[in-house]
Structure 1
């Protein structure tokens, strides 16, 4: 192999390696560049501190996972972490749901499973606060 061909080969190989490394370093996104929507809901029970009501509400929130536009759902209760001025531990149950886009969240809002959840479990909560965020 001549020096010219060897240089071309090494240059091409180096470019391919650099491209492969760059491609593997960034996560893949949908071709249409949609950004997932995060729907985070906090519930305050009518009977704060009631383990029975908290567990019942958690059971209800978990039924939402059957809605087809939900990509991921996390259900939580207040963590026993350090008490700081910036930490709000006044709520009882939370749900964090990931959707592909706002359309998925809109479908969720009117889905029969979601409407059934509200009908069957809203008697347990006194207050609900929702935070919707688009990922960046």
Structure 2
């Protein structure tokens, strides 16, 4: 698969995954769907290190304390069937939901987010972000 086609496919797949996750959430006033999703994939420098993975997960979970984060999901690669369309090269992902683009912008410069980067950036070799707004 060509690199540009793979990148385009991964972007589409991530958008579909976010949409599927959002569609599965309950539709009550309290848990209203949030129109902005921020999906981040991390590749660990030491992918076989459970200690590094756990430290990154712990760091990501601190981001839930940011007031504009409406919902958070932290995950690792699932042991699903290996197929050409599945990218399982990453180690940890975070999926954050925001009420609006302003809330996502506040998150980007929030002291807790900046502290997370300072404390955990030594753990990853690559980060890929998909920001998605509800269609």
Query: TM-score normalised by the shorter chain: which range applies?
Result: 0.7 to 0.9
RMSD: 1.6
Bigger Rg, which one: 1
Structure 1 69/46 Cα, relative in aligned 2: closer, same or farther at 3 Å?
same
Question: Which ranges of 4 or more aligned residues in structure 1 deviate by more than 6 Å?
Answer: none
Paired residues for 1:1-136 under 5 Å: 36-136=35-135
TM-score, structure 1 length as denominator?
Answer: 0.74
Q: How many residues align?
A: 106
Mapped to 1, the partners of 2:134 and 2:28 lie a distance apart of 14
Unpaired segments ≥5 residues, structure 1:
1-26, 30-34
SS in 2 for 1:47: coil
Unpaired segments ≥5 residues, structure 2:
1-26
SS in 1 for 2:73: strand
Structure 1 28/56 Cα, relative in aligned 2: closer, same or farther at 3 Å?
closer
